[in-house]
Amino acid sequence: VKAHSIGLRVNINGIDYREKVPSDITLLDYLRKNRQLMGTKKGCNAGECGTCTVLLDGRAVYSCITLAIQADGKKVETIESLGDEENLDPIQQAYVDAGAVQCGYCIPGMIMATKELLNNNSHPRAQEIREALAGNLCRCTGYRQIMEAVELAARNMSGGGTEKDHGHESYPNENS
Ligand code: FES
Ligand code: FES
């Protein structure tokens, strides 16, 4: 059966798009092929590794198991919405400073999961960080430096301060 085309209206990193897309194209393939946003990586393509994580209306989702049309009328944020090489976003800078990047393949997804966490909880506890990143696999780092990177980002973004629990509204990657 051939997929039919379907109208899509979506805001990606602040820009509105309106076009026809195949009804079965994943959000990941749409971002990479149609929008040339190559920062979102394809690992397992099966909802298991997290490297394709993007924010959909602020929630971290696996874009490989999300259809592009599920983003209709919504806001998508990808790693390209953060900083660039000259001007890193505080989360990206913290990953560099903590030595949390080895091969780098998992990092765009890790950073988007981190962004969701810190948007909702500026002072996450270690257990909350572990839960927020539980859906993102890294083959290289052993996770310790990644935990440190998230803690460092939280400190830098809140200007230090005391540890407070702001609650945790949602976990990423539990999209069904
Ligand atoms: S590419 Fe592995 S979860 Fe999407
Ligand atoms: S840095 Fe290589 S998979 Fe995480």
Residues of the chain with pLDDT under 70: 1, 160-176
Q: Which residues on adjacent β-strands are paired with residue 20?
A: 7
Question: Hey, which bits of 36-110 come out as E strands?
Answer: 53-56, 59-62, 75-77
Ligand nearest to the CA of 142: 2
Instruction: Please provide residue 41's backbone torsions phi and psi, each rounded to the nearest 5 degrees.
Output: -95, 150
Name the region of 11 (left: φ>0; alpha: ψ -120 to 50; beta: rest): beta
Q: Which of 138, 146, 148 to mutate to test the pocket of ligand 2 (most atoms within 8 A of CB)?
A: 138
Pocket of ligand 1, beta carbon within 6 A: 42-45, 47-52, 62, 64
Is 63 touching ligand 2 by the criterion CB < 6 Å?
no
From atom 3 of ligand 1, which residue's Cα is the shortest distance away? 47
Condensed to tens digits (0 to 9), the pLDDT of residues 36-78 reads 999 999 999 999 999 999 999 999 999 999 999 999 999 999 9
Nearest of 101, 48, 99, 53 to residue 77 by alpha carbon = 53
pLDDT of residue 161: 45
Instruction: Please provide residue 20's backbone torsions phi and psi, each rounded to the nearest 5 degrees.
Output: -95, 135
Nearest of 3, 67, 61 to residue 30 by alpha carbon = 67
pLDDT of residue 141: 86
DSSP-derived letter for residue 52 is T
Distances (CA, A) of 8 to 31, 83, 120, 126: 13, 27, 28, 39
Instruction: Please provide residue 58's backbone torsions phi and psi, each rounded to the nearest 5 degrees.
Output: 85, -10
What is the separation of C-alpha 26 from the centre of its chain, rounded to a whole number of angstroms? 16
Q: Which of 38, 40, 41, 64 to mutate to test the pocket of ligand 1 (most atoms within 8 A of CB)?
A: 64
pLDDT of residue 154: 98
pLDDT of residue 1: 64
Instruction: Please provide residue 36's backbone torsions phi and psi, each rounded to the nearest 5 degrees.
Output: 50, 35
Q: Which of 92, 107, 111, 147 to mutate to test the pocket of ligand 2 (most atoms within 8 A of CB)?
A: 107
109 Cα: distance to centroid of ligand 2 (angstroms)? 10
pLDDT of residue 71: 98
Nearest ligand 1 atom to the CA of 28 is 4
Sequence-ordered alpha helix ranges (H) in the chain? 27-29, 90-97, 107-120, 126-132, 144-157
d(CA 81, CA 12): 9
Q: What is the pTM (predicted TM-score) of this model?
A: 0.88
